[in-house]
Amino acid sequence: MKPESSLTNAKGPAVRVKSISQMDDRTLGITWTDNESSRFDVVELRRKCPCATCIDEWTHEQILKPEQVAETVRPLKIESVGQYAMSIQFTDGHKTGIYTFAMLRRLAHLN
């Protein structure tokens, strides 16, 4: 696979966050620098946590089962990490997931 640079990627520069806000009780809204808008269900984000305890680093298999995450889980705080990702601290005490913007865009495009 040919490596792609973040600057001159054929798809243009990698996207960053232009604005981010809570839309309703369980929806996070993000507008990206290319003006695309995405909405995320926060419970779904908890289930898709990419950290090493939730996803097996080697097999990429999901360790966390969806049913282990209660429908009532919510974020406490969402913070940027560098210019490429954000971390979410959840009400169930979990906070190790680093959600890259690239991953969030992929998730948004799946829905």
Tell me the closest approach of the beta carbon of residue 89 to other proteins, in angstroms: 9
Q: Does 75 bind Zn ion (CB under 5 A)?
A: no
Binding residue for Zn ion (CB under 5 A) from 54, 86, 88, 104?
54
User: Where do we find the tokens 């993000």?
Assistant: 30
Closest listed residue to residue 102, CA positions, set 28, 11, 23, 22:
11
* Alpha-carbon distances of 90 from 58, 59, 96, rounded to whole Å: 25, 25, 10
Q: Does 27 bind other proteins (CB under 8 A)?
A: no
Which positions from 36 through 95 interact with other proteins, judged by CB under 8 A? 42, 72, 74-86, 91
Closest listed residue to residue 26, CA positions, set 74, 68, 80, 59:
74
Tell me the closest approach of the beta carbon of residue 16 to Zn ion, in angstroms: 23
Tell me the closest approach of the beta carbon of residue 23 to other proteins, in angstroms: 11
